[in-house]
Amino acid sequence: MARDWIIKGGLIIDPSSRTMEEEDLWVEKGHIKGIDPHISQEGIPVIEAQGLWVTPGLIDIHVHFRDPGYEYKETIETGLKAAAAGGFTQVCPMANTLPVNDTGAITLYMVEKARSIRGPILHPVGAITKGLKGEALAEIGDMVEQGAIAVSDDGNPVMNSEVMRRAMEYSSYFGIPVVDHCEDKNLSDGGSIHEGVVSTLLGMKGIPRTSEEVMVARNICLARQTGSRVHIQHLSSKGSIELVQWAKEQGIPVTCEVTPHHLTLTHEAVKSYDTNTKVNPPLRTQEDRDALIEALSQGVIDCIASDHAPHSLKEKDVEYDIAAFGISGIETALALVLRMVHEEKLSPLRAIEAMSTIPARIMDLEGGSLKVGSPAHITIIDPERTWTVRKEELVSKGKNSPFLGWDLKGKAVLTMVKGEVVWTSKGFPMP
Ligand code: DOR
């Protein structure tokens, strides 16, 4: 049930109006009613937020909830709970479920299941092609009708450029972006980690940067030809950034995201042989990582998305070569981003913008703003709170994190969706 609240004394960070002020915020009937240095209203419960950040609800446009089909890894319920604990108020799950989300019926199943759970709002991303096979187009219109907000074959690339062209033309008819996992399978096949000194040292087959870059270039060319919006997922290489920058300078409608793990780790982490470092695209070099951070702070990379990819021990407690790709990341995303803020590599405003305002814009979602009249999707963050990433404390079923045991600084302490508090951290004083 949505309630009325006054959130008192927090640092209100609103990238949509480029403001950062210590003020009170008034929530009424699930919407933002007012922001003022001093608000007091008889009978309305007060959430004390002194020393905390009050931000637009975080939005993660790239998650895997494994439901239907792989519920032993994650369900819509556990995924939404993990998202709320990570500070997220809206999430976009990918289509690589079983069955694949390539019809309106599966999209509707996801939407209805999420609606029955008190938590973040779920917006499914439908498949581009039937069965993620890269051949025939999926039922795009049907999925959009049931609530899909974009299409992607994530996990798999669309190798056939003609199919991709048709997907772009068709999707723009529905006003949705095509979202692409850029990987040339002919270049990457059999690889487990970035192709470079570490792969040579460990004797593992590598995945070259070019496997991503040629597909980024291909998508840019197709977006230029069709005029359709394309969003590039989990950018990992410096070369991809250069291509996106060029495309933006030409006015080609391309946006892109980066993950917290690519911003934090490099292929050096693979020397541990920890299969939780195995992810697609792979962790790359320090030069790539530095370029990703710089491009994010400059806005060449538009936003941050977790690519939350929960797996069970069965898929991860095996030799590196045969382990599944993926990192369970929705609960560590915010703290890893705040690490860059604490190191002054990213401003607080830009960090929050990249996790709320811009994702909302890319996927045409309501939210990402604290302007009066907006829905009260709000995240309250303690930027100074230190915590240790512990397997037992992760809400997600996926414990496959390379950050287990890390001490991090910064945590969401309250997550509010349309005025309803869907999560608070342990010990947070609620009125
Ligand atoms: O590491 C990854 N895991 N990358 C992907 O693109 C897919 C994801 C998954 O579904 O596990």
- CATH number of the domain at 149, please: 3.20.20.140
Residue 347: pLDDT band (50, 70, 90) is: very high
CB of 316 sitting under 6 A from ligand 1: no
Same domain, 280 and 156: yes
Residue 353: pLDDT band (50, 70, 90) is: very high
The pLDDT of residue 1 is above 80: no
Neighbours of 408 (CB within 10 A): 18
The answer to whether residue 369 sits within a structural domain is: no
Same domain, 187 and 318: yes
CB of 64 sitting under 6 A from ligand 1: yes
Same domain, 281 and 161: yes
The answer to whether residue 399 sits within a structural domain is: no
Please tell me the residue having the least CA distance from ligand 1 atom 3: 326
Position in ligand 1 atom list of the atom nearest CA 324: 11
- What is d(CA 7, CA 122) in angstroms, rounded to the nearest whole number? 25
Same domain, 63 and 197: yes
Same domain, 20 and 103: no
Same domain, 225 and 200: yes
Same domain, 226 and 249: yes
* Cβ neighbours for 202, distance < 8 A, ≥ 6 positions apart: 193, 270, 271, 273
Same domain, 244 and 331: yes
Please tell me the residue having the least CA distance from ligand 1 atom 6: 155
- What is d(CA 183, CA 276) in angstroms, rounded to the nearest whole number? 20
CATH number of the domain enclosing 22: 2.30.40.10
CB of 280 sitting under 6 A from ligand 1: yes
The answer to whether residue 232 sits within a structural domain is: yes
Residue 105: pLDDT band (50, 70, 90) is: very high
Same domain, 141 and 206: yes
State the pLDDT at residue 3.
86
Q: Summarize the confidence of residues 198-218 as an average pLDDT.
A: 98
Mutate to test the pocket of ligand 1, among 211, 233, 315, 325 (most ligand atoms within 8 A of CB): 325
The answer to whether residue 404 sits within a structural domain is: no
- At how many degrees (to 10) do helices 238-249 and 209-226 cross? 10
Q: State the residue range of the domain holding 35.
A: 5-54+375-394+409-424
Q: How many CA atoms lie within 13 A of 392 on its CB side?
A: 0
The answer to whether residue 254 sits within a structural domain is: yes
The domain total for the chain is 2
CB of 279 sitting under 6 A from ligand 1: yes
Please tell me the residue having the least CA distance from ligand 1 atom 7: 155
Given the residues 60, 154, 288, 307, the one annotated as active site: 307
State the pLDDT at residue 2.
66
Same domain, 389 and 276: no
- 28 Cα to the center of ligand 1, angstroms: 40
Same domain, 134 and 268: yes
pLDDT tens figures, 132-161:
999 999 999 999 999 999 999 999 999 999
**DSSP per residue over 318-374, as a string?**
S-GGGSPP-B--TTTHHHHHHHHHHTTSS-HHHHHIIIIIHHHHHTT-S-S---TTS
The answer to whether residue 370 sits within a structural domain is: no
Q: Is 307 known to be catalytic?
A: yes
pTM of the model: 0.98
Least confident of 39-43, 77-81, 120-124, 374-378: 39-43
- 155 Cα to the center of ligand 1, angstroms: 5
Is 252 within 8 Å of 222 (Cβ atoms)? no
The answer to whether residue 402 sits within a structural domain is: no
Q: Summarize the confidence of residues 53-57 as an average pLDDT.
A: 99
For the record, the structure tokens of 218 come out as 């291909």
